[in-house]
Structure formats: C-alpha cells, structure tokens
Amino acid sequence: MTPSETTAIVTLSLLAAFVDGEKHERERAEIKRIAEGLSQADGLNLPTLYQDVLMKRVSLASVAGELKSTESRQLAYEMAVCVCDADGTQSEAERMFLMDVRTSLGLDASSAAGFVARAEEIAAVPVGAAVGTATAAGATAAAVANAPDSAELDKSILNAAILNGALELLPETLSTMAIIPLQMKLVYRIGQAHGYQLDSGHIKDFLATVGVGLTSQYLEQAGRKLLGGLLGKVGGGLLRGLGNQAVSSGMSFASTYALGHVAKRYYAGGRTLSTQMLKEAFSGVVKEGQGLQTQYLPQIQEKARTLDAGKILSLVRGA
C-alpha cells in the first residue's frame, strides 16, 4: 500500500473509534497515547490525525478518495468493523457509519455483510457458560473453601498469553479482534476459580481499571501490524510476521500475561486492591511479561503456525 492509503486506513479507524460519541475519557486518553506512540512509524503524523478526527477536520468522503486499490478498501472496511466491535456489538450509530463506509468504498454488500456477521459473532461470544453478578461475601467464602490450584492457574495464564501472542502475528483483522474476548474469558475463568461469577460488564470495568481499553487495544495491535506491513497480507504474510518480530510489539503476550496474574492476585485477595494498586500491579507485570516474551517467542511462533484463521470464532467459543 502507498503511504497515503495507510494514512487513510488509520484515519478511518479513528473515525470509527469515535463515531458513537460515547467513549470514556480514559479510553480517549489511551487512543491518544497510542497515536503518540506510533507517531514516527512510516513517517505518519498520527497525533495530527487524531486531532483532525476529534476536531472533525476530515470526512469519510476524503478518506475514501485516498483508497485506490481494492485491497486497501477492503482492509480499511475490515478495520473499521473491528474497531466498532472491539468493545461489544455495534451501536446504531456504528451500524449507520459502517453502511456509509461500505457505500463510500464501493464494496460488495453481501461480502461486507458476511464480514460484519463474523465480527459480530466474535464480539457476542459470552465470557463464560454462567453469567451473573459477582457477590463478594458468598464468593469469598466459596473461594476460601475451594482454594484453586495456583500452579494450574499460572499454566493457563501462560497458555493464554502464548495464544494471544500468536494471534498478534497473524495477518487477518479478525485474528487481532479475537485477542480481546480471549482476554475477557481468561479473567472470567480466574474469577470463577476463586468463587466469583462475573458478567462481561464487570470484566470490562476490571480491564479499564488496570488500564486496558478495548477499542484502544485493538487500534494499537492492528495499527502496529498495519504499519509494519503485516496486516492484510496473504500467502507469505504469516512467514514475514514470524521472521520479523519488529512488526509486532509483543504486547498481546505481555498484556494477557499481566491481566491474568493481576486478576489472580485481585480475586484471591477478595477484590480488596484499590484502583491505584491495580494499575501499579498491572504496569509492573506487563514489564515482566515483555521480558518473558522473548523467552517464549519460539512457542508463540510455533502456535501461530498451527492456527487456522478460518476458525477464529470456534477458537473464541471454545476457550
């Protein structure tokens, strides 16, 4: 893709991120941080793009006009869909926006609808078989009576981190999107192991509290892959990703590892950690995870080779 097409795709993704007008201030701050962090990639001035979108200085029509190839238009649409679905199923404003995007990009209606349906299915997968509201008193008593196997939890956290690290290497947009629900399901299982039945709302709040935004995380993961030349690649794309780790920051491994261990600490302690303590703990364990990522890179790469991108939904459902 040309630099102008890459810029247009990133701009469209930012437009999608803010289309419903309901982003929490902490999510906006995360998106701004990501734009600043990627600002030097490919010579793009992402902080300026971020401001242009917030100040409504760019239009869908102008962005669409920069996307010349069929491949860039398809990729732009897929990223916009995944951004809208990253924090759950689409709102009415997001559905209308995506219809306008499809029309503006001149995409086939049936194939576009098929992609939306697959993304919505991933977004709608429940975090666990049982959904309910966590009740501290009863849950704590159950946790004390049935202390979970700490070593088994550590193993499941590491396996989840390796899986999400592998998904980060795949060139498909839906592979990137699957990382978020897999992280949510990991937190659900850890809470359940300690006697808590958690719903998706509680888990989203937990992720937000430690500093993991849903939309912003997808933007960061997909943005790094896009700017590294991996996202949307076919054929040799996977091998390129495996051979050039610089394409990816490895943050999916580190963030999943940190979420798992902080959740384990939080629910084992009866959910008594303060917001500040959770943030500090997460930040510290992310650094630990980043250090471990190099050690487990061969396993991550091997896992990526075995993943079937066509079965992402089944993977999320079965986790």
- pLDDT number for residue 246: 40
pLDDT of residue 40: 53
Q: What is the mean pLDDT of residues 24-31?
A: 75
**Residue 43: enclosing H or E segment and its boundaries?**
none
In this prediction, residue 28 has a pLDDT band, given cuts at 50, 70 and 90, of confident
DSSP-derived secondary structure for 280-313? HHHHHHHHHHHHHHHHHHHHHHHHHHH--GGGHH
Q: Report the range of poorest mean pLDDT among 204-208, 275-279, 294-298, 307-311.
A: 307-311
Q: If you average pLDDT over each of 15-29, 149-163, 209-223, which comes out highest?
A: 149-163
Return d(Cα 166, Cα 297) in angstroms, integer: 9
Provide the Cα torsion 187, 189, 192, 198; round to 10°: 50
Distance CA 77, CA 119 (A): 12
Q: What integer is the mean pLDDT of 269-274?
A: 92
pLDDT band for position 214 (cuts 50, 70, 90): confident
pLDDT higher than 70, residue 244 = no
Our CA dihedral for 89, 92, 94, 95, rounded to 10 degrees, sits at: 90
pTM recorded for the entire structure: 0.86
Domain ranges (residues) in the chain: 3-123, 126-318
Please say if the pLDDT value at position 242 is more than 60.
Answer: no
Is the pLDDT at 145 greater than 80, yes or no?
A: no
Architecture field, domain 3-123? Orthogonal Bundle (1.10)
Q: Which of 104, 93, 98, 92 is nearest to 116 (CA)?
A: 98
Question: Percent of the chain scored above 90 by pLDDT?
Answer: 56
Q: Which of 51-65, 99-113, 128-142 has the highest mean pLDDT?
A: 99-113
Q: How far is CA 31 from CA 19, 105, 127, 138, in A?
A: 14, 25, 25, 38
Q: pLDDT tens for residues 77-125?
A: 999 999 999 988 888 999 999 999 999 999 999 999 999 999 999 999 9
Highest mean pLDDT among 13-22, 94-103, 147-156: 94-103
